[in-house]
Amino acid sequence: MEVFQHKGICIKEDKRTVYLDPSSSRPDGAVTHAHSDHLRPRTHMTKPTADVMKVRTGSKKATPHDYHEKFRINDFELEFVPAGHVLGSAMIECGEVLYTGDYNPYGTVTAGIAEPRDCETLIIESTYGKPDQTLPNRNEVLKDLQAWIEVTSSNGGGIVGAYSLGKAQEVIATANNGGVVPAVSEIVASVSDVYKKHGVPLEYVPYTELDEEEKKKPGLLVTSTTATSGRRPDTVVKDLRRNGAKVARVSGWCAFANWAMRGVDAGFPVSDHSDFGGTMKFIEECAPKQVYTVHGSTKELAKQVEKQLGIKAKPLPKYGEVSIESFT
């Protein structure tokens, strides 16, 4: 069996191939979740991912599956298992290969947790693949976010910018834990409706349904990251800021990158990815014979896997390049 980058992550055996997170729509592909850098219609995906795709893209063209349902593509047996990243996110098992996609081994309020699984070959994301990329304790940061929400929502108003799929729902759940029912932007509402359809308890009110006085002082508004951008804030955000509202961003990058704090009053480093420490622990518990790194700091992570864990590791090779198996 060969594994390499070609039109996505390609697994090949004899003349048979299957594509994980393919770069284009294809019936022999399987996608891990509904973020735009991974999602492709006309592929295999979990049922929640298919529902999110309908809302975000309008496309209904998918082959949906339940978690842990075994299915076949070109005679490869595959299985989606929870990834803990966003609603519907999945790691993919294909024979002795496990591909994490974007995953979270710490667990989220609204999307579960990724559990280590035994495998021969592990293909793992490297978003925070550098040794110094360790996030603060997630629960402590969420407590700080909840306190900020409670203070600002009753004192001039608060605006939280977060990815409309995943992070925004974590913010809504955190606000609800503090007794706050936020107003949400149209895109956040549409995605959150899918979460509710799949049993995630969230309370919110679409901003468009508020009366004119409520729109001036909504208490808390949860919107997209781009809507709160210092360069291109939307009209609602600008108006609320003029009326005294404070703006926060929720992103893991608030812990590592200055750009994440531009144009905001506060930042909360909550991520739906694993950090470096979580990744190393996850790899160790999967106990693979070889590791391929993808999506991020691939070289740095591979180096540390070999150094700290003694497991053969390298960035996933492109088609035609030498793979790890050639060295074993």
How far, in Å, CA of 98 to CA of 235, rounded?
44
Amino acid 229: pLDDT? 80
Amino acid 327: pLDDT? 44
Amino acid 328: pLDDT? 44
Domain 2-133+273-327 has CATH 3.30.470.10: no
Convert 7-27 into a string of H (helix), E (strand) and C (coil).
CCEEEEECCEEEEECCCCCCC
How far, in Å, CA of 23 to CA of 169, rounded?
27
- Could you say which DSSP state residue 43 is in? S
What is the signed CA dihedral for 50, 286, 273, 186, rounded to 10 degrees?
Answer: 20
Instruction: Spell out the residues 6+ positions from residue 150 whose beta carbon is closer than 8 angstroms to its own.
Output: 178, 179, 180
What is the full per-residue pLDDT of the chain (328 aa) written as tens digits?
899 999 999 999 999 999 999 999 999 999 999 999 999 999 999 999 999 999 999 999 999 999 999 999 999 999 999 999 999 999 999 999 999 999 999 999 899 999 999 999 999 999 999 999 999 999 999 999 999 999 999 999 999 999 999 999 999 999 999 999 999 999 999 999 999 999 999 999 999 999 999 999 999 999 999 898 867 778 999 999 999 999 999 999 999 999 999 889 999 999 999 999 999 999 999 999 999 999 999 999 999 999 999 999 999 999 888 666 554 4
Fold adopted by 138-268:
Rossmann fold (3.40.50)
Amino acid 320: pLDDT? 80
* Token couple for 190: 């549409």
Domain ranges for the chain = 2-133+273-327, 138-268
* Token couple for 76: 């490869």
In the structure, how many helices (H) and strands (E) does the chain have? 8, 19
Amino acid 232: pLDDT? 73
- Could you say which DSSP state residue 307 is in? I
Domain 2-133+273-327 and domain 138-268, same fold? Reply is: no
